[in-house]
Amino acid sequence: MANLNLQCNCGNVQGFVKNVTPKSGNRCICFCKDCQAFPNELGQADSVLDEHGGTELFQAALSHVNITQGSDNLRCLRLTKKGLYRWYTDCCNTAVGNTVSAKIPFFGIVHSFIKDEMDRTELLGPIRGAVFIKHAKDGYEKPDTYASELVVNLRVIAKLLVWKMKGFSKPSVFFDENGRAIVKPNIIEK
Ligand SMILES: [Zn+2]
Ligand SMILES: [Zn+2]
């Protein structure tokens, strides 16, 4: 099993996800409104969103994500008070990924934080499907190779249950011992 290398656009923040395979996580596209708003907040919509407003994510176990360099450049925002913790870098505004809380062993890595584009196909396998398709823009049609939205969601839930059982929420580079985010999230309520 290989590690998936992570890096922000300028190279200050680096890390990896250990032991990835196409089965170790979930490679998918999210069209939800918040995933569309997040790169817009960062001024990164052009590099993050596809032509239909989708964000490619690899959903991995939280404790498998390691930051080896530049973690002091990590920043966090929440689009609402209870929204996901959305991580980015303040060196170059790279969208990093999303977490739910310290207790949920889940990290949705935004493709912009994956160092090598080739790794996405070679290590993570094909995209399994898309979620929140109702928010996709401009005549989106789900490719035939994608599983249904329900199957993708069930797969995420199944993964979460296993990760929870295995205690994969800790250690986490994003939350401290008390479950607090390592940096105070900036809450952007519109
Ligand atoms: Zn950077
Ligand atoms: Zn989303």
4 neighbors 16 (Cβ within 8 angstroms): yes
Separation of CA 186 from chain center: 18
Going by C-alpha positions, the residue among 188, 10, 2, 190 that lies closest to residue 94 is 10
Distance 111 CA to ligand 2 centre (A): 13
Distance 182 CA to ligand 1 centre (A): 18
Give me the mean pLDDT over the 9-15 stretch: 98
Distance 167 CA to ligand 2 centre (A): 24
Structure tokens at 113: 């934080």
Distance 34 CA to ligand 2 centre (A): 6
94 neighbors 13 (Cβ within 8 angstroms): yes
Closest ligand to Cα 136: 2
Going by C-alpha positions, the residue among 163, 153, 171, 139 that lies closest to residue 66 is 171
Q: How far apart, in Å, are the Cα atoms of 185 and each of 77, 82, 97, 151, 174?
A: 5, 11, 14, 32, 11
4 neighbors 114 (Cβ within 8 angstroms): yes
53 neighbors 29 (Cβ within 8 angstroms): no
Could you write out the DSSP letters of every residue in 41-96? HHT-HHHHB-TTS-EEEEEEEGGGEEEEE-GGGEEEEESSTTS-EEEEETTT--EE
Structure tokens at 109: 């890595």
Distance 56 CA to ligand 1 centre (A): 19
Closest ligand to Cα 29: 2
CATH number of the domain encompassing residue 103 = 2.170.150.70
154's CB contacts (< 8 A; 6+ apart) are none
Distance 18 CA to ligand 2 centre (A): 23
pLDDT digits (tens, 9 = 90+) for 24-50: 999 999 999 999 999 999 999 999 999
Distance 11 CA to ligand 1 centre (A): 5
pLDDT band at 118 (very low <50, low <70, confident <90, very high): confident
Q: Determine the pLDDT at residue 61.
A: 97
Closest ligand to Cα 69: 1
Determine if residue 52 is left, alpha or beta; phi over 0 gives left, psi from -120 to 50 gives alpha, anything else beta: alpha
Q: Determine the pLDDT at residue 119.
A: 86
pLDDT digits (tens, 9 = 90+) for 70-103: 999 999 999 999 999 999 999 999 999 999 999 9
Counting the structural domains of the chain, the total is 1
Tell me which residue range forms the domain holding 37: 2-187
